[in-house]
């Protein structure tokens, strides 16, 4: 520990730094009519779709008499894009290269470069895993989580079309997965079977989870009873759940299904009643069954079809929220009539072009990040910009736990050489990364980021940051402090290097002047080297470092 003097000095530094810069069928009369995604008159390229985004956003701003914020400067944009596409802050040299690039199209070029890097695969593997397999106490799901992560990594690496990925999740073979069959699936295979284990192989859990994740419908509200003003009925919930009635052998009365019989189960009894309901789509249509068609395959075909009124819109809204911190419809898993999107025409166009471009997630990422709306600064430049759903400026977003840890590693040059856990033998992961992530759980509303007292203490007094900002790191040539302590660097150069490595920008003149004076005076212990570690510690604990803006 640096002692009580560090608390006084560092909090003073934090005050100096601030957070600145920051199939045909019967229609169900209970189901509201929803327009199907229309076939676009023209398949737009990413730049063309970006222009449409800006046209529609700007029209709303003009109607609301809101003055949009200017574009972020290059340093702010560079940091934001690295965090959103790679899940980490940029290295100092990467910031330097981008700032020095005179090309007028360098922002588009940076998007195109980052989206093809291995870290893009790692980051979006983490994004999809956190979404589809949240932390749970289910030991079988934990056991199989690495196989699901490997499957998601393969999807990201191949840029697998989104509709194909969802079909594979919905139809993955479950042999050996059901506790009723007394076996355990192979954790070494790349398979999404952990998704079913996390939902306890219960039709009701799978119905609620898949409708929320893939359709943007919070169907679980109707699981137990009808609500007077709700969009969905209890009968509809269980009709949808019937598609999963074979996964645990509970679908129909009588003996549990055998593996060969289970996929054909198409009905389920509503709990607490004697009523048996048949599988039915949420748009009110009844499947046209063919002999031998597994029920989950029929569901997957309907969910991912191009004219499904929910699927593409839910995906486009979710990706928009991932990049902006807030969805066009918010919350993102509630695309109901009672929760209309802020920009309905924009959401429809994003969905239509997503389908027209064969469910290419990178297409949507390019179109959104090319837009002026995405590239605006997060700084409030006019009082009219305070309504986040108008997208007059970029929202300040909390980092995910993975982004935070990987950014700390990048900033400190930390080399994590601890052995990884082997889930096949039930070994807990005790690596610094695992311990860090256990303290920092993901937050649903990234624009309303909160840090708990325990998290704050872990950052200010935790072993990881304390060791990485200590004087002993000057003895290791590969650490950041050793690099900036080079005799060839001046004090202003050292301050600039720390800023570029942590905040991805150069210090403002007044910041540089104050911190140079602090370091050269030696701080409270009159030691310039110790004072430099204080600056590094304060930068890592600043709000500007912890947030994506």
**What digits encode the pLDDT tens for the residues 454-501?**
666 566 666 666 666 666 655 554 566 666 667 778 999 999 999 999
Give the model's confidence band at 229: pLDDT under 50 very low, under 70 low, under 90 confident, else very high. low
Answer whether 362's CB lies under 8 Å from 315's CB.
no
* Helices assigned H by DSSP within 441-490: 453-461, 463-468, 480-484
DSSP 152-163: HHHHHHHT--HH
| Res. 549: pLDDT tops 50 | yes
Answer whether 215's CB lies under 8 Å from 333's CB.
no
Determine the Cα–Cα distance for residues 275 and 153; give it in Å rounded to an integer: 42
Strand partners, 547: 398
Average pLDDT, stretch 171-185? 59
Q: What is the pLDDT of residue 35?
A: 47
Question: 């006019």: which residue's tokens?
Answer: 382
Answer whether 133's CB lies under 8 Å from 442's CB.
no
Q: What angle do CA 217, 209, 275 make, to 5 degrees?
A: 85
Record the tokens describing residue 217, joined without a space: 């419908």
Q: Which of 34-38, 266-270, 338-342, 392-396 has the lowest mean pLDDT?
A: 34-38
* Helices assigned H by DSSP within 64-117: 74-86, 92-100, 106-114
Average pLDDT, stretch 148-170? 97
Most confident of 86-90, 128-132, 441-445: 86-90
Average pLDDT, stretch 269-289? 88
3-state secondary structure of 204: helix
Determine the Cα–Cα distance for residues 83 and 66; give it in Å rounded to an integer: 28
Q: What is the pLDDT of residue 293?
A: 82
Q: What is the pLDDT of residue 136?
A: 58
Most confident of 239-253, 270-284, 371-385: 371-385
Average pLDDT, stretch 288-308? 90
Q: What is the pLDDT of residue 121?
A: 97
> How many residues are present in the chain?
549
| Res. 57: pLDDT tops 50 | yes
Q: What is the pLDDT of residue 430?
A: 63
Determine the Cα–Cα distance for residues 101 and 300; give it in Å rounded to an integer: 46
| Res. 396: pLDDT tops 70 | yes
| Res. 234: pLDDT tops 80 | yes
Answer whether 44's CB lies under 8 Å from 361's CB.
no
Q: Which of 74-88, 193-207, 254-268, 278-292 has the lowest mean pLDDT?
A: 254-268
Average pLDDT in the chain: 82
Answer whether 208's CB lies under 8 Å from 193's CB.
no
Answer whether 142's CB lies under 8 Å from 279's CB.
no
Record the tokens describing residue 160, joined without a space: 């697998």
Average pLDDT, stretch 99-120? 97
| Res. 1: pLDDT tops 80 | no
Give the model's confidence band at 449: pLDDT under 50 very low, under 70 low, under 90 confident, else very high. low
Closest C-alpha to 318, from 221, 217, 195: 217
| Res. 79: pLDDT tops 50 | yes
What sign results for the dihedral spanned by CA atoms 46, 52, 53, 55?
A: positive
Q: What is the pLDDT of residue 11?
A: 41
Contacts of 517 (CB under 8 A, 6+ apart): none
DSSP 286-315: PP---TT--HHHHHHHHHTSTT-SSHHHHH
| Res. 258: pLDDT tops 90 | no
186 Rama sector, left if φ>0, alpha if ψ -120 to 50, beta otherwise: beta
| Res. 16: pLDDT tops 50 | no
Q: What is the pLDDT of residue 116?
A: 97
Average pLDDT, stretch 283-303? 89
3-state secondary structure of 242: helix
Domain spans of the chain? 4-20+398-548, 46-118+313-397, 217-289
| Res. 249: pLDDT tops 70 | no
Record the tokens describing residue 79, joined without a space: 């940091």
Q: Which residue did the predictor score with more confidence, 278 or 3?
A: 278
3-state secondary structure of 464: helix
Q: Which residue did the predictor score with more confidence, 182 or 36?
A: 36
Average pLDDT, stretch 244-252? 64
Give the model's confidence band at 195: pLDDT under 50 very low, under 70 low, under 90 confident, else very high. very high
Give the model's confidence band at 506: pLDDT under 50 very low, under 70 low, under 90 confident, else very high. very high
Determine the Cα–Cα distance for residues 274 and 281; give it in Å rounded to an integer: 22
Closest C-alpha to 456, from 447, 465, 448: 465
Q: What is the pLDDT of residue 180?
A: 38
Please state, as a whole number, how many other Cβ atoms lie within 10 Å of the Cβ of residue 226.
14
361 Rama sector, left if φ>0, alpha if ψ -120 to 50, beta otherwise: alpha
Average pLDDT, stretch 392-397? 95
Angle separating helix axes 509-521 and 528-540, nearest 10 degrees:
140
Q: What is the pLDDT of residue 480?
A: 66
Average pLDDT, stretch 343-349? 97
Give the model's confidence band at 529: pLDDT under 50 very low, under 70 low, under 90 confident, else very high. confident
**Do you find a cis peptide bond into 97, omega within 30 degrees of 0?**
no
Determine the Cα–Cα distance for residues 497 and 404; give it in Å rounded to an integer: 20
Q: What is the pLDDT of residue 351?
A: 97
What H or E segment, with its residue span, contains residue 548?
A: strand 547-548
Average pLDDT, stretch 169-188? 63
Q: Which of 13-17, 303-307, 347-351 has the lowest mean pLDDT?
A: 13-17
Closest C-alpha to 89, from 100, 97, 98, 81: 81
Determine the Cα–Cα distance for residues 57 and 390; give it in Å rounded to an integer: 7
| Res. 507: pLDDT tops 80 | yes
């Amino acid at each position: 520990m640096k002692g009580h003097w560090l608390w006084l000095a560092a909090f003073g530094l934090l005050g100096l730094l601030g957070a600145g810069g920051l199939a045909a069928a019967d229609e169900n009369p209970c189901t509201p009519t929803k327009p199907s995604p229309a076939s676009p008159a023209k398949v737009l390229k990413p730049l063309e779709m970006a222009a449409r985004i800006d046209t529609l956003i700007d029209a709303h701003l003009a109607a609301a008499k809101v003055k949009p914020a200017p574009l972020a400067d290059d340093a702010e944009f560079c940091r934001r894009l690295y965090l959103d596409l790679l899940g980490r802050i940029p290295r100092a040299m990467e910031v330097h290269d981008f700032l020095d690039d005179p090309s007028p199209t360098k922002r588009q070029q940076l998007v195109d470069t980052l989206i093809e890097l291995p870290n893009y695969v790692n980051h979006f593997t983490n994004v999809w895993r956190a979404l589809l397999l949240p932390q749970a106490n289910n030991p079988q799901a934990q056991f199989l989580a690495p196989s699901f992560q490997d499957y998601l990594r393969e999807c990201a690496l191949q840029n697998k079309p989104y509709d194909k990925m969802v079909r594979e999740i919905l139809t993955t073979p479950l042999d050996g997965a059901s506790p009723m069959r007394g076996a355990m699936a192979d954790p070494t295979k790349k398979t999404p079977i952990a998704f079913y284990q996390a939902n306890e192989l219960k039709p009701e859990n799978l119905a609620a989870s898949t409708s929320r994740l893939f359709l943007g419908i919070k169907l679980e509200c109707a699981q137990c009873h009808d609500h007077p003003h709700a969009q969905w009925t209890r009968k509809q919930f269980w009709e949808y759940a019937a598609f999963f009635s074979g996964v645990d052998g509970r679908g129909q009365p009588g003996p549990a299904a055998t593996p060969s019989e289970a996929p054909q189960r198409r009905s389920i009894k509503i709990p607490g009643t004697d009523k048996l309901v048949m599988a039915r789509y949420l748009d009110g249509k009844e499947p046209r069954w063919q002999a031998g068609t597994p029920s989950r395959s029929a569901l997957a075909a309907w969910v991912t079809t191009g004219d499904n009124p929910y699927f593409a819109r839910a995906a486009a809204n979710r990706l928009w929220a991932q990049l902006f911190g807030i969805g066009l419809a918010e919350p993102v898993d509630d695309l109901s009539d009672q929760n209309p999107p802020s920009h309905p025409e924009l959401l429809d166009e994003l969905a239509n072009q997503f389908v027209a471009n064969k469910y290419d997630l990178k297409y949507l990422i390019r179109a959104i990040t090319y837009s002026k709306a995405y590239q605006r600064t997060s700084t409030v430049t006019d009082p009219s910009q305070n309504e986040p759903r108008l997208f007059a400026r970029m929202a300040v977003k909390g980092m995910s736990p993975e982004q935070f840890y990987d950014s700390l590693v990048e900033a400190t040059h930390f080399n994590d050489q601890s052995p990884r856990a082997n889930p096949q033998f039930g070994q807990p992961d005790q690596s610094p990364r695992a311990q860090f992530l256990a303290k920092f759980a993901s937050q649903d509303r990234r624009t309303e980021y909160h840090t708990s007292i325990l998290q704050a203490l872990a950052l200010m007094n935790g072993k990881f940051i304390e060791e990485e900002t200590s004087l002993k790191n000057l003895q290791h040539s590969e650490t950041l402090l050793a690099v900036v302590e080079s005799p060839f660097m001046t004090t202003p150069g050292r301050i600039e290097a720390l800023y570029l490595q942590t905040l991805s920008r150069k210090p403002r003149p007044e910041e540089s002047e104050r911190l140079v004076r602090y370091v050269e005076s030696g701080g409270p212990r009159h030691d310039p080297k110790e004072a430099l570690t204080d600056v590094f510690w304060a930068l890592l604990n600043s709000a500007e470092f912890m947030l994506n803006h």
